[in-house]
Structure 1
Amino acid sequence: MTLMINKLRKSENGQALVELALVLPILLLLVFGMIEFGRVFGTQLVILHGAREGARAAAVGASDTEVVAIVQNRTSPLTLDASKLTVEVTPSDVSRQRGDGVAIQVQYPVKIYAPFISAIMNDSYTVSGRVMMRME
């Protein structure tokens, strides 16, 4: 009887390896997905912060070049490359009137590093933020 139990126990040696081979790709996809989501979400927060600061400056009378410089200054110390940042100010500083809205649109491409995620999506994901404030 014990010989039969030992034979059955010996024949299950590769079971854990097969289970690991089946579960590991799904686990890695989840882990890398969470990491990439955190990176993209963090960049989204930085972009919105920069757009908010730029909209506030534009609302109190700053020119378009000053608004772009403010957005770049608020986002670049927080690990964003200012050369890849796209800032649009609508309307331009010459046509703004008191009481009208001024909108700041900021876009930034985030490179996806995870091999599984970049195969599903493109190599980069563009994060954008738009903030509108009324001119004072």
Structure 2
Amino acid sequence: MRHLPRGHAAGADRGAAAVEMALVLPLLAAVLFGIIDFGRMFNAQISLTEAAREGARAVALGLDPDTRIAATLGAVPGTPEVTACAGDRDDDAVVALRQEFEAITPVDALLGGVTLTATGVMPCAG
């Protein structure tokens, strides 16, 4: 059985994998954390929309909307701005929520921050 001679070309590739990994790893990490941030933002938007609906339902029924909104938001970080408008019997109750999203990546510095908004509308019960 013949062995192939080791040439100088095989030794020239030493450390190439480490250099390639050093170039690709930051990009891969940025994409991964971007996906995680997008999922967190999407979850916060869904929670904010549900809280706006619950707050509008509470206003329409004559209840305190702040406790319903706080209970619905639960683990969402931050405190939203609440704007409630109670209408007459034939009008709609409207609750608008606005909240700054806090990303774990430095995307806020690039985009200037992300503001999530949600509006809940319910007919007033008479």
Runs of 4 or more consecutive aligned structure 1 residues displaced over 6 Å after TM superposition: none
Q: What is the rounded CA distance, in whole Å, between the counterparts of 1:119 and 1:80 in structure 2?
A: 19
Give 1:79 deviation, angstroms: 4.1
TM-score where L is the length of structure 1: 0.75
Q: Does residue 1:72 correspond to 2:70, yes or no?
A: yes
Secondary structure in 1 aligned to 2:77?
A: coil
**Aligned twin of 2:82:** 87
Which amino acid is the alignment partner of residue 110 of structure 2?
A: I
Which amino acid is the alignment partner of residue 7 of structure 1?
A: H
**1:47-58 alignment runs, 5 A limit:** 47-58=48-59
The answer for unaligned runs of 5 or more in structure 1 is none
Q: Identity over the aligned pairs, expressed in percent?
A: 28
Does the CA contact (< 8 Å) of 2:95 and 2:119 recur in 1? yes
TM-score where L is the length of structure 2: 0.80
Deviations 1:72-125 (A, max 9, x none): 2322x32434xx3211113xx3xx22232222111122222224x344233x42
Q: Number of aligned pairs?
A: 123
Distance 1:25 1:102, change over 3 A: same
Q: What is the rounded CA distance, in whole Å, between the counterparts of 2:22 and 2:108 in structure 1?
A: 22
**Aligned twin of 1:121:** 111
**Aligned twin of 1:103:** 94
- Normalized per residue, which structure has more helix? 1
Give 1:59 deviation, angstroms: 2.0
